Structure 1
Amino acid sequence: MDVFDAELAAWDRALPRKRVSAGVLFFDGLGRVLLVDPVYKEPWEIPGGTVELDESPRDGAAREVREELGLDRAPGRLLAVDWVGAWAERSEGLAFVYDGGVLSPADVAGIRLQAEELRGYAFVEIDAVAERLIPPSAHRVRSCAAARARGETVELMGGLPVAADRGPR
């Protein structure tokens, strides 16, 4: 390694690090979104979790869905990237959300929860997600459902859409 490579490597190691998560929005035939109830924390979530080192967000989302739900489904289109600012004891992070499409009754019957991670799951009306999710997550799910309906991918900050010229709407 020459001096330039060593300096570049040292510079790279000093850069800020962000948490990265990836999740998937699944729907049932009635348009309700699938939420899961983690055993390790109180608020519900969408299926997904932390992206591992040297793993892409898309691959992380697929792995988490396999692990948590027992479903081997490739994530669909990217719906959103959400920047989540630091809060309480958590560092800032990026959340990638993919479209999982509509689960058939057979798909739902095939769900096998990972007992160490999930207590249960429920399909919830989009207008009712705030009853189970923390506010930024509820905003994210609503923003992603709207983006899905429009066939768009959106940039979010704290779950809220960002206008290119103004910041969060």
Structure 2
Amino acid sequence: MSDDEYQRSLPRTPAAAALLLFDEHGRVLLVQPAYKQDGWEFPGGVVEAGETPAEAAAREVKEELGLTRPTPTRLLCVDWMRVREGEPGGPRMVFDGGLLTWEEQQAIQFPQEELRAWDLVDPADVDRFLPPERAGRFRAALEARASGAGTAYLEDGLSLT
């Protein structure tokens, strides 16, 4: 098998990366994508060729919200999602984006073709906004952030421990 044939035979599993951004009250910023009928997400998206997941998370926040954030240095959670209908599966990485200042909140501008809205949500209310696997990812990331412990590892939104 040639190198080209070998490369084409490898599975293509896209990785995605997101930033958790918090306000001074501990609320997390969520976005409502325009391409979905309902449901909310963390700001983030697919890791493109030639970039790291941390770079992708910062780039997506710039594209989605118009905010320039430093490339994150703390990975809170990795969630391996299985392929299922409408979802390609693959690793979903969540980074600590830190504090979102009041000035940054006022500066948020998003492309209407990409997002419908954004909101700051109390962590106790995320289940109303996120599907179960993303809510599980959020709780694991929040716990890792609060404890200062290592990166949480999940599969399909569930901890293995």
TM-score (norm 2): 0.91
What is the rounded CA distance, in whole Å, between the counterparts of 1:103 and 1:160 in structure 2? Answer: 28
Choose which of 117, 122, 129 in structure 1 pairs with 2:119. Answer: 122
Q: What SS does the corresponding residue of 2:125 show, helix, strand or coil? A: helix
SS at structure 2 position matched to 1:87:
coil
8 A Cα contact 1:83 1:158, kept in partner:
yes
Q: Which amino acid aligns with 1:72?
A: T
What's the TM-score once normalised by structure 1's chain length? Answer: 0.87
Once the two structures are TM-superposed, the CA of residue 76 in structure 1 deviates from its matched residue by 3.6
SS at match of 2:98: strand
**For residues 43 and 160 of structure 2, what CA distance do their matches in structure 1 show?**
24
Tell me the SS of whatever aligns to 2:144. Answer: helix
Note the residue ranges of structure 2 that are not aligned, 5 or more in a row.
none
In the TM superposition, what whole-angstrom CA distance separates every residue of 1:19-67 from its partner, at most 9, and x where no partner exists? 2111000011111111001111021000001111222111111110000
Q: Distance in 1 between matches of 2:126 and 2:22?
A: 13
Q: Pick the aligned partner of 1:153 from 151, 154, 158.
A: 151
Of 56, 59, 65, the residue aligned with 1:60 is 56
Q: How many residues align?
A: 158
Displacement of 1:161 in angstroms is 2.1
Computed over aligned residues only, the root mean square deviation of the Cα atoms, in angstroms, reads 1.4
2:66 is matched with: 70
Q: Which residue in the other structure is 2:84 paired with?
A: 87
| Displacement after TM superposition at 1:8 (Å) | 4.1
Among 22, 36, 48, the alignment partner of 1:27 is: 22
Residue identity opposite 1:115 in structure 2: Q
The 3-state SS of whatever aligns with 1:82 is strand
Could you say which structure has the greater relative contact order, defined with CA pairs below 8 angstroms and 6 or more residues apart?
A: 2
Does structure 2 retain, via aligned residues, the 8 Å contact 1:37–1:44?
A: yes
Structure 1: runs of 5+ lacking an equivalent: 1-5, 164-169
One-letter amino acid matched to 2:23: D
Per-residue deviation, residues 96-143 of structure 1 (Å, max 9, x unmatched)? 111001111112112112222111111111121110111111111111
Aligned to 1:103: 100
Q: Report the 3-state secondary structure (helix = DSSP H, G, I; strand = E; otherwise coil) of the residue aligned with 1:83.
A: strand
Deviation at 1:15, TM superposition (A): 1.5
